[in-house]
Structure 1
């Protein structure tokens, strides 16, 4: 830990935009609307914007914390301020958390494939295909992962244009009455919204592989803004098309929106949506897998390739064990709770504590 990364292994600062956005945009975009609307209803877009602003603050906090570390990542930060075992514990937490996030992404996408396109396709085949692709990409190194993230953001972004078609059937009175909910309702929607923003915290592990981290910070904020904009557009179109009663009984609203599109050369446009989303979840899984594998390599000294295949095997087992929709919901809830506690509780407390330590040391040196 604390070894400076060679410049040949680093990527340009502007690519942090695609890494941050790519780690936040997964299969959750196909189904987040129903959960987000559970609190503030048609006003849930307010909660989404507030959580987006909160993540800008949290992102600033992350960069500030990492600037205090010589190694430039959260493992080095813990080792320098709290000792070796603190670094081991935070690496272990990230490893388990990262495995759960990847498992949720793959299991959720596999469920969509089975329900929407190939009902007779075994889940293990879909899981193995995704994991083998991810393992191949991750084994190519961080620059390869970044390149996939770039295309994983650019290519699916064109699907936003398809939201024009549902707008033909929009009922804007679905947003009325506006801003008529209690604070508790907005907080409930914000709690569900928080889950779709998770993923940016892995920047705490891979930031040393970004050139000029101070210059890269603005690109990370642009990635958060990009995520907020995409989710906001999808949410507004969804509310304009569905009423709240119908939305509560719709599992994948984004896919339903794509199903109404009819082109003269393509009848089932929703198939395009489903298969294109493969390009969306692969970068998300690759960023997380690379981050946790790199963390375990730093802690243990074992080869990254060994940790990669161990991780792939564990994810495959988790996906196969969590077969039922109920077990998937429980896994999502555990993952969301772990990520939310880390980013809302541990990260601010760590920031305050280290700031106090640094202030105390400065006072002693005067």
Structure 2
């Protein structure tokens, strides 16, 4: 599939995949360990993600013309390569199923408590599949157009500064200690998942390697600051006890804001937020397709099959009362797939003949 996208389209693809439901609960989760320094944990997590982006960039410099699927086949051989690609495929649809479950629970808690689970799952996945079956360029264009939603969300967030704020909640800076801040980094890191989209789409972006590193780094900076900003405004609006009792403090932040012009700002925010959440599903369905498919026709079949599997996973997970064990298992697998294996592949690349070079760095 020789469909290429521009560097700016890659930028918005990364952002739209990374920013999703994790933001809504992140302030309470990170604050539970890092307290008023939770925003520092977000910045440190962004630095760790940047290190992974450097590994991805170094890997694709070694094999600039290969997709992730092709590199795996080259390095691990036919049998092991096919097996590992299949594992990546399963990994992507498991994340999509888990994300769908979280989305459904959020929508039922805040907006549609009487709507059956199977209906919400069907709407979310069907919407994601509708766009995911298209080629990467079409998907990227949608992400670019829908990114205006982030501007709207930022403008809405400014209204919250009319509430009573307490700067003392984050003072003095660093009072939680390095250990607690690092513990908050772990929670933040998994709320910012989605940057691994670069692994799948990097080779299909026009431009030289250095330019691609620059644009992926810039997207990481933007996402990190976006998350840190919302964590910070929650910290100065809620005390630590309130954050411990609230599952989605970002929504509660807007719920408490009402005036003559705006009412139910939390529902307005959530309605807009459905678009970024759906974009995440689209990305993971697309990554699942690209992890196995060698042609556009095969890709579309795989995406459709993936949508059915994601629906089954979502239906199962919605029956599970506590998702913590599954979340812990998924986090361990996530570290393996997006950190350990790419690092291993980069080290292996030094003993495998380079197949070419897209351009000088």
**Fold-level match, TM-score > 0.5?**
yes
Q: Is the 8 A contact 1:135 1:308 kept in 2?
A: yes
Q: Which runs of 5+ in 2 are unaligned?
A: 355-361
Counterpart CA distance in 2 for 1:335 and 1:146 is 27
Scaled by the length of structure 2, the TM-score of the pair is 0.91
Q: Which runs of 5+ in 1 are unaligned?
A: 360-366
Match of 1:297 among 275, 293, 300: 293
1:52-71 matches, cutoff 5 A: 52-69=46-63, 71=65
Counterpart CA distance in 1 for 2:323 and 2:282 is 21
Q: Is the 8 A contact 1:72 1:208 kept in 2?
A: yes
Higher mean displacement: 224-233 or 139-148: 139-148
Counterpart CA distance in 1 for 2:157 and 2:298 is 45
| CA-CA distance at 1:357 after TM superposition | 5.6
Counterpart CA distance in 2 for 1:111 and 1:87 is 36
Q: Per chain length, whose mean CA-contact separation is higher, i.e. which structure has more relative contact order (CA < 8 Å, sep 6+)? A: 2
| CA-CA distance at 1:152 after TM superposition | 3.4
Regions of 4+ moved over 6 Å: none
Match of 1:93 among 82, 87, 96: 87
Q: Is the 8 A contact 1:14 1:216 kept in 2?
A: no
| CA-CA distance at 1:63 after TM superposition | 1.5
Aligned to 2:223: 227
Q: Deviations over 1:175-214 (max 9, x none)?
A: 1233123432122111111102221112211223211252
Indicate the structure with greater helix content.
1
Q: Deviations over 1:18-61 (max 9, x none)?
A: 11111111111111111112222111222211111121121121
The alignment of Structure 1 onto Structure 2 pairs a total of residues equal to: 352
Scaled by the length of structure 1, the TM-score of the pair is 0.89
Higher mean displacement: 350-359 or 217-226: 350-359
1:230-309 matches, cutoff 5 A: 230-298=226-294, 303-309=298-304
Q: Is the 8 A contact 2:111 2:267 kept in 1?
A: yes
Match of 1:334 among 329, 333, 336: 329
Q: Is the 8 A contact 2:16 2:276 kept in 1?
A: yes
Match of 2:193 among 198, 201, 207: 198
Q: Is the 8 A contact 1:156 1:279 kept in 2?
A: no
| CA-CA distance at 1:263 after TM superposition | 4.3
Counterpart CA distance in 1 for 2:320 and 2:158 is 32
Give the aligned CA root-mean-square deviation in angstroms. 2.2
Match of 1:148 among 136, 142, 148: 142
Q: Deviations over 1:66-94 (max 9, x none)?
A: 22125422222222233123321331222
Q: Is the 8 A contact 1:33 1:235 kept in 2?
A: yes
Aligned to 2:13: 19
Counterpart CA distance in 2 for 1:303 and 1:344 is 28
| CA-CA distance at 1:289 after TM superposition | 0.8
Aligned to 2:357: none
Aligned to 1:173: 168
| CA-CA distance at 1:226 after TM superposition | 0.8
